[in-house]
């Protein structure tokens, strides 16, 4: 297992994104209700956030609730929303103490009113922090985000604020929820599932993917360091040959 001293601080990703998966299975293994897994997942959120802060990573995005998660049993959705509200409320002081800025992406207006209010309050209270930006993906899905961008661009073409010739990768990226955030160089998924599940599809075009068998509530700082170490051992070619990359 890696510890922080194994990591080359000059080769860090700026942005790490995580699909936190396996809370339900973790709880089931223990003969508990699914929400018990989500509750224990909060400590893993703390661990990943601390690890990213200690390393000096600038952005950490966590897939906390997908558009598709609304289809779960109402009792689980309600419990997850309550957990989000209480966790955000409890952690604001810690975020400020560690200079962490909170941000959110997704269809935030679809969240319950108390969740929106708690989130807006925490975002405002942490807005001046400069160390790590912790981005929560809430009621988020990549297809939703892309369709939203297409509609907004289409409206601007219709009103002649933009022409079709203006549309390129940079312009399109500016209409995504992540417009102020660099693309993640590393995407981690826990629980052994080998899927992207509608997360940051545009933004991960060239991300390194890292899958671990660990269920999210078991994910500790050392697991985060392991993922960073694996990333540092990859050769990122961006379509070039290995010889070209090494020659650069």
Residues noted as catalytic: 21, 69
Site for ligand FPP contains 35 (CB under 6 A): no
Distance CA(13)–CA(23), nearest Å, equals 26
Size of the site for ligand FPP (CB under 6 A): 20
Task: Work out whether 95 is an interface residue with ligand FPP (CB under 6 A).
Answer: no
Of 12, 18, 23, 119, the one binding ligand FPP (CB under 6 A) is 23
Question: How many other CB atoms are found less than 10 A from the CB of residue 14?
Answer: 14
- Give 23 or 133: the residue with its C-beta nearer to ligand FPP: 23
User: Rounded CA gap, 55 and 10, in Å?
Assistant: 10
Binding flags for ligand FPP, 185-224, as an x/- string (CB under 6 A):
------x------------------------x--------
CA 8 to chain centre: 23
Q: Does 184 bind ligand FPP (CB under 6 A)?
A: no
Q: Which residues contact 90 (CB under 8 A, 6 or more apart)?
A: none
Q: Alpha carbon of 78 to those of 56, 104, 138: distances in Å?
A: 34, 19, 14
Q: CA 4 → CA 18, 50, 68, 219, 221, distances in Å?
A: 19, 12, 36, 16, 9
Least distance CB 19 / ligand FPP (angstroms): 8
Dist CA 179 CA 147 (whole Å): 15
- Which range touches ligand FPP (CB under 6 A), out of 5-13, 51-59, 82-90, 162-170? 82-90
Q: Which residues bind ligand FPP (CB under 6 A)?
A: 20-25, 34, 38, 41-42, 45, 62, 64, 69, 83-84, 87, 136, 191, 216
């Amino acid at each position: 297992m890696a510890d922080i001293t194994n990591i080359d601080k000059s080769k860090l990703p700026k942005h790490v994104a995580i699909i936190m998966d396996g809370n339900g299975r973790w709880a089931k293994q223990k003969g508990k209700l699914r929400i018990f897994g989500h509750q224990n997942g909060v400590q893993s959120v703390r661990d990943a956030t601390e690890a990213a802060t200690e390393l000096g990573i600038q952005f950490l995005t966590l897939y906390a609730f997908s558009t598709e998660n609304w289809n779960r049993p109402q009792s689980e959705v309600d419990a997850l929303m309550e957990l989000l509200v209480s966790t955000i409320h409890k952690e604001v002081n810690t975020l400020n103490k560690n200079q962490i800025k909170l941000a959110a992406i997704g269809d935030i207006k679809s969240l319950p009113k108390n969740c929106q209010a708690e989130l807006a309050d925490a975002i405002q209270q942490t807005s001046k922090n400069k160390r790590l930006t912790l981005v929560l993906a809430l009621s988020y899905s990549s297809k939703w985000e892309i369709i939203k961008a297409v509609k907004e661009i289409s409206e601007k073409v219709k009103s002649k604020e933009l022409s079709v010739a203006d549309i390129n990768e940079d312009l399109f990226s500016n209409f995504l929820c992540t417009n102020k955030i660099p693309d993640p160089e590393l995407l981690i998924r826990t629980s052994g599932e080998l899927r992207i599940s509608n997360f940051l599809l545009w933004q991960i075009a060239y991300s390194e993917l890292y899958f671990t068998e660990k269920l999210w509530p078991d994910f500790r700082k050392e697991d985060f360091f392991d993922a960073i170490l694996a990333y540092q051992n990859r050769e990122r070619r961006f379509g070039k040959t290995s010889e070209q990359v090494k020659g650069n």
